[in-house]
Structure 1
Amino acid sequence: MSDKNQQAIEEMQEGNLENAANLLNETIEANPDDPIGYVNFGNLLQAVGEEEKALNFFTKALELDPANATAEYGKGNTLFTLEKFAEAIEAYQNAIANGLDQADVYYMLGISYYSAGDYIHAMPSLLRAVELNTDDTDARFHYGMCLAQVERIDEAMEQFLVLVEQDPEHADGWFNLGVCYAYTERFEDALAAFNRALEIQPEHALAANGKAKMDEALSDNT
């Protein structure tokens, strides 16, 4: 990577986007056949919400280097932001096929499937993201959600239990743990989970509804 590419990345990380853009312009002018400058400029444009322009830069990078995994990943992120999930999935799959074996790309592939409502295909990618980064609570949460959606409730419960241990303030984690408990008729555990979600997020309407149902179920059983 050229010095200016590296400087541009540092400027981006520090929030100096205009300086980064100037450096990347100079890099591309000096090295028009090097895909790295186009990838970095695409990332910059994507970061500031210029998705359509970003796509042009990722496309140019891939014209220069069709096997450029980071260009495919950037392209996938941009398409995901545009809610073009099928195209994003293809880009992430290409990134993985070209050697980008990282938790983030598996998470984004999984979340693209998830956003498209395809929970079956989302699961393996989200599981792989969790395996590569066990601290990724977003990946674990969505993996648990996929398991719940396909009624693998015991496995979903395991994921939500780990999640709320990792992040005790995860209101949606507690809520969905409560749903799993309710599904398996562990009403007292469900009530406790819904109450915890409401302690964290008092306006959590779904948890409030779950709590009311568990109060009713427990009163009926007495």
Structure 2
Amino acid sequence: MSIYLNKMLLCVLLVLAGGALLGGCTSVPDLKNIPEASIEDRSAARKKFLEGRQFLSLKMNAQALESFVDAIKLDPGNASYYFAAGEVNFSEERLDAAEKYFKSALQIDPRSKGVSRELGRLYMSKGMWEEAIQNFKQDIEISGTTFPHEVYNWLALSYYQLNQFDNAEREWLTALNFRDNADIRYNLGIAYKSRKEYDKALKSFVAATHLNPEFVSAHFEAAILLYGKQQWLGARQHFEEVIRFDPKGEMAILSRKYLNEMVE
């Protein structure tokens, strides 16, 4: 590894670690211009990366992160190593460090699979909804994105947080085209309910319970809407399911109150 590469890498690692920029490191270097690592260094980096994956399987996150950073030192032009280090930091809720690693991975390879998705999720954690939307869209544009229904669901939730309901509804419906999913049906139901579109909300909640019969929150929401429509039999069935699946929960306590009122 050349002296030039060592100095550049020191700048990169200082920034990724959140440390002060020292010795002329005034900004994050252009990772696209880092010289290619030698065959020996690439091989050693790969071993460190696999070692890190093994540590992760044993839930030894600190050791895993150390191995991934070692891999970056050996082969700083490999986006996968930055992504792996970002994932560890994200799992440990070190969001700023994770963000820097993810951004570095994208600087090296803008079409690196999964990075934009995780960066979008990170921005959701920070409440940075516009940034989340941008990254989820980028992930969707990449061929072969993993579990597209999840990405569309997160994209919809981000739009919903910005009160862009029409966009949110469109993305939720797109998500359902990929996979009919109870969580997505529930989210769509909550959105419809907030807009007082109660028939659509009820349909979504009931669909969620069909997909996941133990979905307590969906049963409760369906029961409340049926109760409001004075459809007592349907409401009773869903309230009873709430009590059956979560007898000590808060929703079960409320369900018993509604059932008692229906008897009276």
- Shorter-chain TM-score category? 0.7 to 0.9
* Percent of residue pairs identical: 18
Q: Equivalent residue for 1:22? A: 66
1:173 counterpart (214, 218, 243): 218
2:127 counterpart (83, 87, 107): 83
Question: How many angstroms does 1:34 deviate by?
Answer: 1.6
Q: Decide whether the 8 Å contact of 1:119 with 1:149 is kept in 2.
A: no
- Report the Cα distance in structure 2 between the residues aligned to 1:124 and 1:5, rounded to whole angstroms: 40
Question: How many angstroms does 1:32 deviate by?
Answer: 0.8
Q: Which runs of 5+ in 2 are unaligned?
A: 1-41
Matched position secondary structure for 1:32? coil
2:114 is equivalent to residue 70 of structure 1? yes
Compute the RMSD of aligned alpha carbons: 2.9
Q: Choose 1 or 2 for highest CA Rg.
A: 2
Question: How many angstroms does 1:213 deviate by?
Answer: 5.6
2:176 is equivalent to residue 130 of structure 1? yes
Q: Equivalent residue for 2:156? A: 110
- Report the Cα distance in structure 1 between the residues aligned to 2:149 and 2:47, rounded to whole angstroms: 28
Q: Equivalent residue for 2:16? A: none
Q: Equivalent residue for 2:32? A: none
- Report the Cα distance in structure 1 between the residues aligned to 2:107 and 2:156, rounded to whole angstroms: 26
Q: Deviations over 1:162-188 (max 9, x none)?
A: 322333222211111113323443133
Question: How many angstroms does 1:156 deviate by?
Answer: 3.0
- Report the Cα distance in structure 1 between the residues aligned to 2:203 and 2:238, rounded to whole angstroms: 14
- Report the Cα distance in structure 2 between the residues aligned to 1:218 and 1:150, rounded to whole angstroms: 31
Q: Which runs of 5+ in 1 are unaligned?
A: none
Greater alpha carbon shift after TM alignment, 76-85 vs 186-195: 186-195
2:140 counterpart (96, 100, 125): 96
Aligned length: 218
Structure 2 CA distance for partners of 1:38 and 1:216, relative to 1, 3 Å: same
Question: How many angstroms does 1:28 deviate by?
Answer: 0.7
TM-score, normalised with respect to structure 2:
0.69
- Report the Cα distance in structure 2 between the residues aligned to 1:38 and 1:109, rounded to whole angstroms: 24
- Report the Cα distance in structure 1 between the residues aligned to 2:216 and 2:185, rounded to whole angstroms: 14
1:161 counterpart (193, 200, 206): 206
Greater alpha carbon shift after TM alignment, 114-123 vs 52-61: 114-123
TM-score, normalised with respect to structure 1:
0.81
Structure 2 CA distance for partners of 1:118 and 1:9, relative to 1, 3 Å: farther
- Report the Cα distance in structure 1 between the residues aligned to 2:51 and 2:166, rounded to whole angstroms: 42
Q: Equivalent residue for 1:194? A: 239
